[in-house]
Structures are given as structure tokens and as C-alpha cells.
Amino acid sequence: MIPSQFDYVRVSTVDEAVAALAEHGEDAKILAGGHSLLPIMKLRLAVPTVLIDISGVEELNYVRVDGDHVAIGAATRHHDLEKSEVAQAEVPLLPHVAARVGDPQVRHRGTLGGTVAHCDPASDLPTALLALGATVVVAGPGGRREIPITEFFLGFFETAMEEGELIVELRVPRTGAGGWGYEKFTRRENDWPIVAAAAVHLPDGSVGVALANMGGVVLKAAAVEAALAEGKSIEEAAELAAEGTSPSSDMHADVEYRSHLARLLTKRALKVAAGETEASTAESTAA
């Protein structure tokens, strides 16, 4: 449970971070909150020789309105997102989900960019961002570029970032008073979801739906979205939640049970988003 030896570099700007990544190459890792990276380093599943600490880069810590979007700096901590008045007014799904990540210690250290870059299929906030149709902004030696979140998660712990790049911003459509819901099933309160479902009414009139822990990455519930667009009822659409997914079987749930949870939680999230019912008060209750 002791990580391998590494060097530590602390930077104060994005340019310094990009330069440090260029200098140290693929052996370097970005350190923000550390709640995703440090545990796998202790298990030696990741063995970087250099950690580049961006926790002090103030230009990456913000939540602000930018046109039709809310722009969120990659180093914004979950707690700050949860308490942000801008986020609560303009994209309330995100602060709601941020408040359900881990415990207070995790939320005061973990960052939005970090959890997206980690690309864990059981992550709460990436699921919400996927439902919202967010855009990931990365910076690297060639400057900045935008990646639709639907193209960002490539596989288990694998993203579309190229060598030398880091996430600098997440851009999310302003949903305002549009309905939304987030339902997750856990063994313990605030634990990683065994399955979770996010649903949100988007500015273009469509409904975004995404699932956690139903494959190697967080997934769009494409069949559900298509059914809703065709005018199907919530009940009819939710029955399609497991289509196109590849859930695993482990000590917590088998494939059949995860598929059941996907259908159940999607229906609940859609009903909450539609204002037909209130959000579940217990995260560990499933029928």
C-alpha cells in the first residue's frame, strides 16, 4: 500500500502545467485533489515518476455563466460546485450530484476535472455531465481544443486526451428551471453507485439520459432518449434503459440485477425530471 518513488512539481499556471507535462512526458501525472490518483498509486496500478500538482492554479477554479453555457474550471472542488449559486440557478443537476459524492472530506478535496479525467464508469459527476451534453476543454502543446463529452470517454480509465494535455474547463448548457433527476443505488450512503441514472430536460427540448456502472465507461441511454423523442411514455422508454449496455457481474450485483436497476432508476429519474414524483430520499433502496 505504499506508492513507488516519484518527484513532485508544483505549478501555478496552466502554461506551467503544460510545460511540465511536455518536459516529463508520459511518466508524469496531473495531481489535483488526489482522490482518484493516489489510491491507484498505492496499489501500484499507476506508477508515475513525476506528479504535477495543479491544486494551486487559481485560473482553474471558477463557476461562471458564459453565454448559453456554464463554464466550470477543472480544479473546482465538489464542495464549491455544490455550494455555487451560479450552478444552483443555471444547472442545478450538478450541485445536487456533487453533494452526493463521497463524504465531506472527499468533496472538499476532489475536483470536477479530476473525476472526469479518471474516467471511472461508476462516477457520479461524469454521468450527470454526459446527460447534460457537456463539452470538455483541454490544453496542451498545441493550444486548447474542445471535445464533446460523448466522444471523451473511450474505455475503462481511457479518455480522448492526447499526451501532454490536461483538462482545463467543463462547459455545460444552461438548463435553468428545466426538470432533472438523479437516482443511484448504493450499498452505503454516498458510496460508489452500483448503478445510477441521470435525466435532464435540455434547452433544445430533448431529454438527456445517462447511466453509471452499466459498461466500461459512463453511458448514454440512447434507446431511452430515442423513445422519448418519439413520444413514448416514461414507463415505455425506461424499459429500454439496459439496451446497448454491457454491465459487469461482481460481488455487488450480477448482469440481470444491474439491468433491472438501470430500468428502475431511469424511470425514477425521468419521473422526477418530469415533476411527477420527488427524488428518492434513500440511495440504497430499490424494488
- Same-domain pairing of 48 and 95: no
- Same-domain pairing of 40 and 74: no
Q: What is the pLDDT of residue 188?
A: 83
Q: What is the total count of domains within the chain?
A: 3
Q: What is the pLDDT of residue 189?
A: 76
Q: What is the pLDDT along the chain (287 residues), one digit of tens a residue?
A: 688 899 999 999 999 999 999 999 888 999 998 878 888 888 888 899 999 999 999 999 999 999 999 999 999 999 999 999 999 999 999 999 999 998 888 899 999 999 999 999 999 999 999 999 999 999 999 999 999 999 999 998 899 999 999 999 999 999 998 999 999 999 887 788 999 999 999 999 999 999 999 999 999 999 999 999 999 999 999 999 999 999 999 999 999 999 999 999 999 999 999 999 877 655 545 55
Cα distances (angstroms) measured from residue 139 to each of 52, 96, 145, 165: 15, 28, 7, 5
For residue 265, give its domain range.
180-273
Is residue 209 within 8 Å of 269, Cβ to Cβ?
A: yes
Selection from 100, 257, 117 nearest residue 184 by Cα:
100
- Same-domain pairing of 28 and 66: no
- Same-domain pairing of 199 and 264: yes
**194 within a domain of the structure (yes/no):** yes
What are residue 137's phi and psi, to 5 degrees?
-100, 125
**126 within a domain of the structure (yes/no):** yes
Q: What is the pLDDT of residue 19?
A: 97
Cα dihedral 76→58→52→213 (10° resolution): 10
Q: What is the pLDDT of residue 284?
A: 47
Q: What is the pLDDT of residue 285?
A: 52
Set of cell numbers at residue 35: 482522490
**CA–CA gap between residue 261 and residue 126 (Å, rounded):** 19
- Same-domain pairing of 153 and 236: no
Selection from 234, 247, 240, 196 nearest residue 222 by Cα:
240
